[in-house]
Amino acid sequence: MMNRKKAAFFDRDGTLIKDVSYLDDIKKIEVLPGVVELCQNLQQQNYLLFVVTNQSGVARGYFDEAFVQKTHAHLADIFAVKGVTFAKFYYCPHHPEFGHKNGYAQKCSCRKPSPGMLFRAAQEYDLNLSYSLMFGDRELDFQAGVAAGCASFWIQDVLKKYVKDM
């Protein structure tokens, strides 16, 4: 039990990058000010970094899972240049009301505010969720972190420490 690792979980849109409402082009990616510094600081404190993001645009037919994976690979590259490594990107392509045509319409345990993605990461990486953190910009992010037993934070409040102009 004592050897279990601690993690920092991040929502994607509105937390790591500017929320452009259903990101459908990687050229629209804009890393939010202060996020890289926060991630670097957490890594120095031996947190494993993860992204946990709802991507209902897949269920809605706006883009496919291959695009989500391509976007995450691109994000990993952007952050890697700054010395930041994400252990894994988790995403939920489902939506309880949309996606009947493509099979993504379902109520699932991975869609935030459910903590399924955090639980999956904990199992796959032997994480201690009670020593882990969740950062997000919406109530559902906060709720997912709390449900998983993590300390949860509003990214807007945390980034004020790293960006003076916020």
Burial class (CB in 10 A: 0-12, 13-18, 19+), 165: exposed
pLDDT at residue 2, as a whole number: 55
What is the pLDDT at residue 68? 98
Strands 86-92 and 151-154: unpaired
Top pLDDT among 156 and 164 is at: 156
Long-range residue pairs from 2-5, CB within 8 A, at least 24 positions apart, any chain = 3/126, 4/126, 4/127, 4/128, 4/131, 5/46, 5/48, 5/125, 5/126, 5/127, 5/128
pTM over 0.85, yes/no:
yes
Tokens standing for residue 17: 């990058």
Q: Is the dihedral of CA 83, 84, 87, 89 positive or negative?
A: negative
Q: Where are the domains of the chain?
A: 7-159
Cβ proximity of 89 and 72 under 8 Å: yes
What are 135-145's pLDDT values in tens digits? Answer: 999 999 999 99
CATH tag for 7-159 (out of 3.40.50.1000, 3.40.50.720, 3.40.50.620, 2.60.40.420): 3.40.50.1000
104: its two tokens = 């993504």
Indicate which residues carry an active-site annotation. 11, 13
pLDDT for position 74? 98
Q: Which two tokens stand for residue 32?
A: 């939010």
Segment 124-127 long-range contacts (CB within 8 Å, at least 24 positions apart): 124/88, 125/5, 125/7, 125/48, 125/87, 125/88, 126/3, 126/4, 126/5, 127/4, 127/5, 127/6, 127/7, 127/48
Q: Grade residue 102 by pLDDT with cuts at 50, 70 and 90.
A: confident
Half-sphere exposure of 4 (CA within 13 A, CB side): 16
